[in-house]
Each structure stands twice: as C-alpha cells, then as structure tokens.
Amino acid sequence: MTPTTPLAALAFSGGMDSTTLAAHYHGLGYDLLLLSFNYGQRHLREIAAAQTIAAHYGAEHHVVDLDGLGALMPGSALTDGTVDVPEGHYAEASMRATVVPNRNAIMANIAAGIASARGALVVALGIHAGDHAVYPDCRPAFLEALQRSVTAALDGFPTPTVEAPFLHLTKTDIARAGVRLDAPVALSWSCYKGGAFHCGRCGTCVERHEAFVDAGLVDPTRYEVADEVTV
C-alpha cells in the first residue's frame, strides 16, 4: 500500500513570505492546504494572488471568511480606511500603524483546528525575524506558547506541529530562499494598497524591494513607478 502523502496546512496570505513557505513545504514533499483569511482588510488583492499561487502548485485553497473582524479592530492601516498607509522605510511608529491585534494568533488557531480535522501533520506560519520588534505574534515566545495552547486544546485529537521555518530569518534570507526553491514570488502580493501593481512607496513595498537588492537578486515585482522604490 502506498503511504499517504503528508499534509501541511499553511496560513497563506499570498505574500512573498507565505509563497516561499509554500515552496518550502512543497519541496519537502507535503501536499499543501492553503488557508487565506478575509479579515476585513483594505483590499483583497492578496487573496487573488493566493488563488493564483495555489493554482501554480495544484494546491487546495480556501478563504476563511472573517470579513466583519476588521471593523471591530479600528486603528490599523490594514483595516481602517481612516488610517494612512505608512510609506518609506519602516520605523517603529510606522510599523505599529500596521498592527492588527492578535491577527496571527487568530489565524493560526483557526488553521490548527482545520489541520486537526483534516489530519494535517503541520500548521505552518511565515513569520520571520524582521517582524519581531513590533509584532508580538511573530516572536519565538508566541510560537512556543501557540504550540502549548494547540496541544492542550486538541488533547485526545490529532494534533499538528506548529512550525515557522523562517522564524529566525531576515526578509533578505527569505528572498534568497524563494529563488533557491523556485517559488513563484513574482505572483505574490505584498503592497498595502490594492492597485493594479505594487505601489512601490508603502513600507512593505520598500521592505520587499530592499530584500531583493540586499540579496543581490533581481526584483521580479512590477511597481507603479519603479524609480520611486528606494532602498
């Protein structure tokens, strides 16, 4: 009897990090269960990218509908139209404007429940070292606590391992990994503004472009005004 291919459930935004995460687990031989979240964010451009990337891998993809959540969490540039999207290099103040409180914890716990029901061995998150300073649910302590919580909550039921293989990597490291793993990063979406192309001005566009430059790689991203992307 042929063994069943192991399943990995990924919290999948459709961004550069989660696209590289999908390539990582695909390369390890896992089937992919990609879980995107509509949490009332400013635009759904990233979910469209996630669908395209899922098709690239022939992966199962679902959008978890939490649309009303964003309206209950004012004050973040990601969910609140009255808050300006920060532009230029990230500083602590501008990064704080992009915090959606407990977002990764909410998504990870939902993914863990789905993973248990589906018999997935792994729940994978694309969190990385560049986010540790401002985002509490991107830090090693959070990952450790999450595994303890998931293990307790699923006592007696299939319990996935919670993994974050990029936890101690920089964005530049992830850019290198994406190229090495042949991840379709050009299909991914990072921009906080939902235009036809990446704006090239918001903090996450600048961070994305800088990662490729620092890695000595060609940035495959199309920006609205290329010469406005500065590093």
171, 136 contact by CB (below 8 A): no
Amino acid 95: pLDDT? 76
Tokens 């430059």, residue?
213
202: helix, coil or strand? strand
Amino acid 227: pLDDT? 52
In a domain, 150, yes or no: yes
Non-local CB neighbours of 14 within 8 Å, separated by 6+ positions: 36, 46, 47, 48, 49, 50, 51, 52, 53, 188, 189
The CATH number linked to 173 is: 3.40.50.620
Non-local CB neighbours of 4 within 8 Å, separated by 6+ positions: none
Its pTM stands at 0.92
Taking the chain (231 residues) in consecutive chunks of 10 residues, what is each chunk's mean pLDDT? 81 97 98 97 94 98 95 88 79 76 95 98 95 87 97 98 97 97 97 93 93 97 71 46
Cα separation, 39 vs 28, in Å, equals: 30
The tally of domains found in the chain comes to: 1
Q: Which residues pair with 5 in a beta bridge?
A: none
In a domain, 228, yes or no: no
